[in-house]
Amino acid sequence: MVDKYLSLLEAEIRRQRFGEEPVSLYEPIRYIMALGGKRLRPLLTLLSYSLYKNDAQKIVKYAVAVEAFHNFTLLHDDIMDKAPLRRGKATVHEKWNVNTAILAGDVMLVKVYDMLLDLSPNKLRDVLSLFNDCAAAVCEGQQWDMEFESKSRVTEAQYIAMITQKTAVLLGFSLELGSLLADAPAADRATLRQAGIDLGVAFQLKDDLLDVYGSKKKFGKQIGGDIIANKKTFLLISALQQSKGKDKATLVKWLAMKKFDKKKKVAAVTTLYDKIGIADATNKKISESFDRAFEGLGNLSAKENLKSLLEYARELAERQQ
């Protein structure tokens, strides 16, 4: 089922031109949308819909709207993070320039609303209301993420709250959107939204782990980017809490440095993580969040095609990229 839905999504993405002139504005949009990726969010929308109805092809356009919004956030996030790579290719601001990337992102968001406008009147208001709440939360989460970089202390609870907004609410919206479009019971919609949030928290924690321990070829992004930027990830927060003595002093020293060799910093901090056992602690946290998601999905009233959704969720739990 996932392969079938991926084919539907890719065909719709190719069909959506987003705009034509000026080419320099719309080509970057087509570029980032064509880079591929997991198509996680639109797949969740289609899989959620398929729990209740068997004509998921009817909502592919709305699933692609979710993917377009996600890629809009990536365009702007990559600028803020000064990221050189996205899915193993040059980021839009590197391939073109920062101003073009900002404008391309802006128009992408406008096109998302265009794609949602032909929803039936009895669905449009609810979808837009949920989407607007989600989009605002994503922006709030990104702002917290940036502010955390300059804060000397961030707690685990603050971090989880931040990634819930920045990453997880969009997965929650994706699952709820599919169920809303399929006229699912209100209780199931709420369950799917929370399961999506739990999946999103686990997904971001896994992303943080792969940023340090992943393969650049598989991960498609700069390895150690979070360490270089002093991002307050779960790994760094845990290391600051658990390290002592010389190890703590070494970690704090690297965080305070303004000028440094990037490779040496990544290697030194990773060595400290290894010594403290941060990877194991992160994997434990990831498993806890995935377990909550699986428990929630098991409580749904809909059982048809639930196996496909559960299998896909398990693939996310085991991913290495």
- The strand pairing partners of 89, in sequence order, are 86
Burial tier of 268 (Cβ tally within 10 Å: 0-12, 13-18, 19+) = middle
Mean pLDDT of 261-285: 96
pLDDT, one tens digit per residue, over 123-143 is 999 999 999 999 999 999 999
> To 5 degrees, how large is the angle CA 93–CA 96–CA 101?
45
User: Does the pLDDT of residue 217 top 70, yes or no?
Assistant: no
Q: What percent of the chain has pLDDT over 90?
A: 84
Give yes or no for a contact between 191 and 296, defined as CB atoms under 8 angstroms apart.
yes
Hunting for tokens 């779960």 — which residue is that? 234
Give yes or no for a contact between 163 and 184, defined as CB atoms under 8 angstroms apart.
no
Mean pLDDT of 90-109: 96
Mean pLDDT of 205-232: 82
Cα 35 off chain centre by = 15
pLDDT at res. 11: 95
pLDDT at res. 36: 84
Domains of the chain: 2-199+290-312 (1.10.600.10)
pLDDT at res. 221: 59
Give the HSE-up count for residue 138: Cα atoms under 13 Å, Cβ half-sphere.
23
pLDDT, one tens digit per residue, over 4-22 is 999 999 999 999 989 999 9
Mean pLDDT of 72-82: 93
Q: Which residue has the higher pLDDT, 84 or 189?
A: 189
pLDDT at res. 220: 54
User: Does the pLDDT of residue 44 top 70, yes or no?
Assistant: yes
Give yes or no for a contact between 42 and 66, defined as CB atoms under 8 angstroms apart.
yes
pLDDT at res. 222: 65
Mean pLDDT of 221-238: 88
Closest-CA residue to 42 (of 68, 57, 64, 69): 64
Q: Is 111 helix (H, G, I), strand (E, B) or coil?
A: helix
Cα 74 off chain centre by = 9
Q: Token digits for 69?
A: 């919004």
Contacts 24+ apart (CB under 8 A), 153-157: 153/240, 154/232, 154/237, 155/237, 156/234, 156/237, 156/238, 156/241
